Structures are given as C-alpha cells and as structure tokens.
Amino acid sequence: MKKATKLEDAAALIPEGAVLLIGGFMAVGTPERLIDALVERGVGGFTVVANDTAMPGHGIGKLVTAGLVRKAVVSHIGLNPETQSRMIAGEMEVELVPQGTLVERIRAGGVGLGGVLTATGIGTPIEEGKQIVEVDGRKYLLEKPIRGDFALIKAKQADYKGNLEYALTAHNFNPVMALAADIVIAAPQIIVPVGVIPPDAVKTPGVLVDYLLEREQ
C-alpha cells in the first residue's frame, strides 16, 4: 500500500532546473493542485515537456506566468500569448515538436528505444542537424527519445496501491509520461480501495507510481 503524500511535500521533492513531463491536453488532465504548489514554492528553471503550455491561468500556463519555465518542449503554443511573448523576448526557449513525434519520443524514452524514425519534417527546417536514415528507399528523421526527472500525472482515480485510471483526453499523454520519468507523482481526484478499479481500466500500474498525492478536498 502507498501512503498518500501531502501536496507541499510532493512539491518540495522537485529541485530547480528539473525536467518535468506534465500530462494534459490544453490543461485537461493536468495536475492543477501540484502546479499551484510549485508556483507557491517559487523554485523554477524547469524544462517542461508537454503537449502545450495551456492558457494563462490554467495548467502549465501558471508556471509560465510565474516565470518558472526555462524551456518548453511542446507541440504548440498558440493558446498562450504569454509563452509567445516570453519566447520572442528571449526569456524562455521553446522547442516545437510535431504532436505525434512528441508522444512517440516520450514513449521511446519510456520503453528503452534508441529513437523514433519518422518522415515528418523531412525536407523542412526541422531536419537541420538531425540524422537521416534511409529505409527501403524512403528517408526518415531519427528523433531521439525523451525522458524526464519527474512526471506530474493527473488521474481520475487511484487505489491505495497506486494503480491509476484516467478519463477522456487525460489518456493522451499521462500514461506514456508515467513510463518515461525517474520519479512519478500522481494526483488523483479520488482514492478508492483496491479492487474498485477494474483491472482493464488500469492504464498506469502502481509499480510505476512513486508518490500518490492526497485526494482532492
């Protein structure tokens, strides 16, 4: 059984300059309580790997507004004008990665692959400086795997062994990110007894979860 961790204790685990894999899709499926705790703590310099930087006042957007993000590796920033402004001003580095390539690079990091071959980006500025591999006469970019120091995960519910169930678009990045980080911190909406979550609904097994936050009050 896992002992539930207090929010402030979980935030204190994350040092300055950490690489954070943060689940969510335009803030849906993002662990808002943990984001708020990081903003309150005020330690930053983070490299954030995520689908996007959400919007001001939501999800990762709160970290951006607080000036805690040094670099964002994301598929788009179109919904967050603060990210755009900071990038243009040179206050924040942004690496844009096609969405499918991004999730596959994270998955590769999680399952121990040496990289991903993709035709996306061939013949564009994206290929600059990257290794090109030819397979059966077709060219592919070798995209390197991504891993993080911490994965910050939002779950619909967890049991006391740390098994996680997700809802709707929270499936998009959370499960694969839980594979690709040294330390996984899960923030469930509720915690239920073992056996309540059907086995086929468990998308992240408890063995991957290092810290389980206290449930929402």
C-alpha 203/C-alpha 175 separation (Å) is 6
Q: Is the pLDDT of residue 83 over 90?
A: yes
Closest CA to 178 of 156, 144, 207, 200: 207
Domains of the chain, residue spans: 4-113+146-213
Domain 4-113+146-213 grouped into CATH 3.40.630.30:
no
127-151 pLDDT, tens digit each: 889 999 999 999 999 999 999 999 9
C-alpha 19/C-alpha 15 separation (Å) is 9
184-208 pLDDT, tens digit each: 999 999 999 999 999 999 999 999 9
